[in-house]
Amino acid sequence: MEDKDLQRLTEEISLAFFKVPFQHNATFNPRLKTTGGRYLTSTSNIEINKKYYDALGIEELVGIIKHELCHYHLHIRGRGYKHRDQDFRKLLKEVGAPRFCTPIHTASTKPKAFRIYKCVDCQQIYKRIRKVNTIKYRCGKCRGKLEEMQKNVDIKE
């Protein structure tokens, strides 16, 4: 699917579900990492993450487009278009748009490894993703010396 196909699909969904034409641009944005799409209030354009279409198919793409069109049509009319607004939540239900997109697991969403540090004096444990300079930094509880216990332990949260 290319940008012109996405534009046509977005215009069709807008007419079918909202009964109002979509008069701006819908494009794929390869830089989106953690979201299915976004509505740009400054230009009224919609950007979609192509990875969601590739991984989950056309139905997920249609859901993301409906969600972004809810933002679009409410913003154009001057009504509450943000996630917390009642107008937005009501319109989501009316058109059957998802509030959140289905998460896809990519290399950028894998759990990060972290390091475990322990205070020599009070035994306080610290988990950090970045390496801590144990000469420069001390325990926040008792000001004792820190020592590294384990490296590269996977986070399971």
> Annotated active-site positions, please?
68
Q: Are 123 and 101 in contact (CB under 8 A)?
A: no
> Which residues make beta-bridge pairs with 48?
28, 37
Rounded to a whole number of angstroms, the distance between the first and last alpha carbons of the chain is 35
